[in-house]
Amino acid sequence: MLQFILKRLGLAILVAITVSFISFSLLFLSGDPAAALAGETASGEDIEALRRLYGFDRPMLVQYFDWLASALRGDFGESYYFKLPVAGLIFDRLEVTMLLGVCGISFALLVAVPLGVAAAMRPNSIIDRLALFMSVAGQALPSFWFGLILIVVFAIKLGWLPPSGTTSWQNFVMPTIVLGYYAMPAIMRLTRAGMLEVLNSDYIRTARAKGASEVRVMFKHALRNAIIPVVSLAAVQMGFMLGGSIVVESIFALHGAGYLAWESIARNDLPTVQALILIFSMFYIVFTFLADVLNAWLDPRMRSS
């Protein structure tokens, strides 16, 4: 197990280095950074001065290692737009995004996994059909529309929840539902499919032949084997929620990192974009690594391969 973890960790680090290089090179892919910084009316001399000031005249690899070394110390440079350190800017926003992501994925898992198990226990029953309906609806409803409907009903008509802001936990209820609802269908269907397959396997019959109760058969013997692909999927969706919750963040005016990324792209604020891409990628890598470790714990066959 330890050997497996170390191997995965090594791989994760390699991926992280590659990603960091790619996100650094984005700066140069979008044209001359000094010219972009100086603006349209700047003279050639101004651009040259800026180039020297920000060190764009040095070889690219030197700039990369310089940037990486600062990034590792938590220094991502200064935002071109806010004229503030990028790190502080992001970490304020990241708190909101992380909270939203964790709540969203938890909500999705808590609803989708039991529903998937229930649907697999009785295929074609009312529960199965209801679950299918919910997943089709979840897949089809655009989150901006679903979010607005929730605001209209629960914030405006009923007045139960605040429509926007980040002042209390109540602000996070509707965004969590919208974000989680988006991730639910895939998790639910995958749980159901996995359970149906596992329930037909010989070792489930063995468990029943031992006199294990249905609950024990379902949760101890079947779910552990069926949940493995769900873990991988949930990790990817969690990563996606952090970076891709822009729509939800803007509907509910939660100024999180997703929203910041969108704004920074529009403003050509390259250090911020770079740092955000790096951080989101790192989250992806960490979640995938954690999912691999969790899966290896669930399925011993993975440890040896």
Partner 1 sequence: MTKPLLSVQNLTIDIPVGGGTLHAVRGIDFTLDRGEVLCIVGESGSGKSLTSLALMGLLGKRISCTADQMDFDGTALLEASPRKMRSLRGARMSMIFQEPMTSLNPAYTIGDQLMEAMLLHENVPRSKARARAIDLLEKVGITAAASRLGQYPHQLSGGLRQRVMIAMALMCGPELIIADEPTTALDVTIQAQILRLLVDLVREMNMAMILITHDLGVVARVADKVAVMYAGQLVETGPARDVFSQPLHPYTRGLLHCIPQPGKTARGEPLGTIPGIVPSLVGEVEGCVFRTRCEHAVPACHAAIPRRERGDHAFRCVHEDGHAPDDTRAKEATDA
Cβ 251 to partner 1, closest distance in Å? 41
Cβ closer to partner 1: 52 or 122?
Answer: 122
For the CA atoms of 24, 27, 28, 29, what is the dihedral angle to 10 degrees? Answer: 100
d(CA 243, CA 236): 11
Cβ 204 to partner 1, closest distance in Å? 8
**Residues 251 and 147 sit within 8 Å (Cβ to Cβ):** yes
Cβ 138 to partner 1, closest distance in Å? 29
Cβ closer to partner 1: 93 or 221?
Answer: 221
DSSP string, 93-106: HHHHHHHHHHHHHH
Cβ closer to partner 1: 141 or 298?
Answer: 298
Cβ closer to partner 1: 236 or 298?
Answer: 298
Positions in the binding site for partner 1 (CB under 8 A): 201-203, 205-213, 216, 221, 224-225, 298-301, 304
Cβ closer to partner 1: 25 or 213?
Answer: 213
Cβ 17 to partner 1, closest distance in Å? 34
Cβ 105 to partner 1, closest distance in Å? 23
The alpha carbon dihedral of 238, 241, 243, 249 has a sign of negative
Cβ 11 to partner 1, closest distance in Å? 23
d(CA 34, CA 55): 10
Cβ 207 to partner 1, closest distance in Å? 7
Cβ closer to partner 1: 158 or 209?
Answer: 209
Cβ closer to partner 1: 1 or 69?
Answer: 1
